Structure 1
Amino acid sequence: MDSRLVEEVRISQGEKMYSQSAVSDDSSTVYTPTHTAEADNMSYVSRLDIREGTNFRAPSPGKTYMIFHRESGKMICLKNGDLNVRKPDQQSGRYWKCVEKDGWLGFRETVSGNVLGHNGKNGFRATMKKHDQWEYFVVVPKGNEGCQLQSLRWPTLKWVGIDSDGRSLVNTTSSDEAALWEFVEA
């Protein structure tokens, strides 16, 4: 057989699938993702059709997720340091590892290692490496509608919504203004 054949193998790094690409008979191996952003988006749409009427679960610490906005089908992405809700492309960081500290959840973008958190105003950013109070979240499952996020904005919890620009994450004061999310395990 041709040494350029690709064989899928599960690599124990996060929970992602990688392809092992043999480019020659020597021992050098290159690991590449087995899917693209377009494939992620397509598989999400088909999963949504299958999942209608099911209860969505909150994410679990230690697992990695793509976080989809239920209404638009776009994802929370980090691209060139800019955090927003967008249709992902190959340069977008869209995998978020769920972490836990003192009972609070957080979401660490897997490439940069930055944690989703407040920007010091009314919005959010992913620029910090440490999971501290500005990066604390609570996930509230809403049955078959998805999940809502709440963030600690001392001394209260605020709901996470999407600004009128359709891209920016913002704090909101009520669950009626909060966005609904789906956490799809990567």
Structure 2
Amino acid sequence: MRNRLLDRHNTNESSDYMSSTPGYENNSPIPATQSHSHTSNSIFKKKYQKLGIFVLTIIVGLLSLYMALNNDGYESVADNDSNAPTIYTPPSTIIADENRQDQDNQCSHHSSSVPWPNFTYLIRASSSGRLLTLDSGGITLAKPGDNRGSSIHWKCIEVKGWLHFQNAASGCFLGHKFWGDLTCSSRVAEGWERFTVRPLPEGGYYLSLTHFERLWKVGIKDGVLAKIWEGETGGFVNNGEGEGQVVVWEFTKV
């Protein structure tokens, strides 16, 4: 009997000790800190799961909206295409005839060839029809009937981006003298033999020579062909073959 009382007393003391000792809860062998950590992990996992489901739902919704918008756009384009008027293409023979007619009209207004390197030309003053001619070392304008053979033939040559005109008879290059008069005496294409050719909207071309850092057009000065300052600043240019006027030229390939 006494032993039983002692055992019961010891059991009660053990129970009181476990309940009052930190780390023991509800007679559980697991410490309180471990139980609290396990609970926190479970809560975080649930939160992340909910967040993942929420994000996935948003992505699916956006994809559905994007697909719906694309389908609507495709259907609208298809409807517009179906309602578009039919474009009839004319036969190729009609196009060819129209192009040929346009070319004929252009040729009737602009009979000049385009000056191009390695081709030979007659250079004609458009207002009078007279030809640029080499005559005894001098440059003049002569009527087409005054046949001077190859002295009216000028070969276009390109050197360093500049155009040069070489007389077929003498082999010399068209250029200018110290005072600007045209001449044809140099056998080498250098600075005083450099030309530029500029087309006019109404047809024909300006011939220009270098004058220091500027370009002066070929015209009439003191009754002879020379580079002149007329039209240097742009705007209105006095074209013609009179004194102080700028000559408009045409090129006929031979």
TM-score tier, shorter chain, comes to 0.5 to 0.7
| Letter paired with 1:147 | Y
What root-mean-square deviation, in Å, do the aligned CA atoms of Structure 1 and Structure 2 show? 2.1
| Letter paired with 1:156 | R
Q: Which runs of 5+ in 1 are unaligned?
A: 1-49
Distance in 2 between the 1:174 and 1:52 partners? Answer: 29
Distance in 1 between the 2:110 and 2:169 partners? Answer: 31
Cross-structure match for 1:185: 253
Cross-structure match for 1:75: 131
Distance in 1 between the 2:196 and 2:206 partners? Answer: 8
Match of 1:171 among 227, 238, 245: 227
| Letter paired with 2:137 | G
Residues 55 and 143, structure 1, Cα contact 8 Å, conserved in 2: no
For residue 143 of structure 1, give the secondary structure of its aligned residue in structure 2.
coil
Cross-structure match for 1:117: 175
Instruction: Please state how far the C-alpha of 1:160 moved relative to its aligned partner.
Output: 0.7
User: Is the counterpart of residue 62 in structure 1 residue 110 in structure 2?
Assistant: no
Distance in 1 between the 2:194 and 2:222 partners? Answer: 24
TM-score (norm 2): 0.50
Instruction: Please state how far the C-alpha of 1:57 moved relative to its aligned partner.
Output: 4.9
User: Is the counterpart of residue 152 in structure 1 residue 210 in structure 2?
Assistant: yes
- Taking only the aligned residue pairs, the percentage that are identical comes to 30
| Letter paired with 1:136 | R
Cross-structure match for 2:166: 108
Larger radius of gyration: 2
Cross-structure match for 2:187: 129
Residues 210 and 216, structure 2, Cα contact 8 Å, conserved in 1: yes
More helix by share: 2
Residues 58 and 140, structure 1, Cα contact 8 Å, conserved in 2: no
| Letter paired with 2:183 | R
For residue 134 of structure 1, give the secondary structure of its aligned residue in structure 2.
helix
Distance in 2 between the 1:95 and 1:68 partners? Answer: 11
Residues 58 and 147, structure 1, Cα contact 8 Å, conserved in 2: no
Q: Which runs of structure 1 show a deviation greater than 4 angstroms over 4 or more consecutive aligned residues?
A: none
Instruction: Please state how far the C-alpha of 1:155 moved relative to its aligned partner.
Output: 2.1
**Number of aligned residue pairs:** 136
Distance in 2 between the 1:55 and 1:80 partners? Answer: 30
For residue 73 of structure 1, give the secondary structure of its aligned residue in structure 2.
coil
Cross-structure match for 2:19: none
Cross-structure match for 1:161: 219
Instruction: Please state how far the C-alpha of 1:178 moved relative to its aligned partner.
Output: 1.9
Distance in 1 between the 2:156 and 2:131 partners? Answer: 15
Cross-structure match for 1:90: 147
> Relative contact order (C-alpha < 8 Å, sep 6+): which is higher?
1
More strand by share: 1
Distance in 2 between the 1:142 and 1:185 partners? Answer: 19
Residues 52 and 144, structure 1, Cα contact 8 Å, conserved in 2: no
Cross-structure match for 2:14: none
Cross-structure match for 1:21: none
Residues 55 and 144, structure 1, Cα contact 8 Å, conserved in 2: no
Distance in 2 between the 1:56 and 1:67 partners? Answer: 9
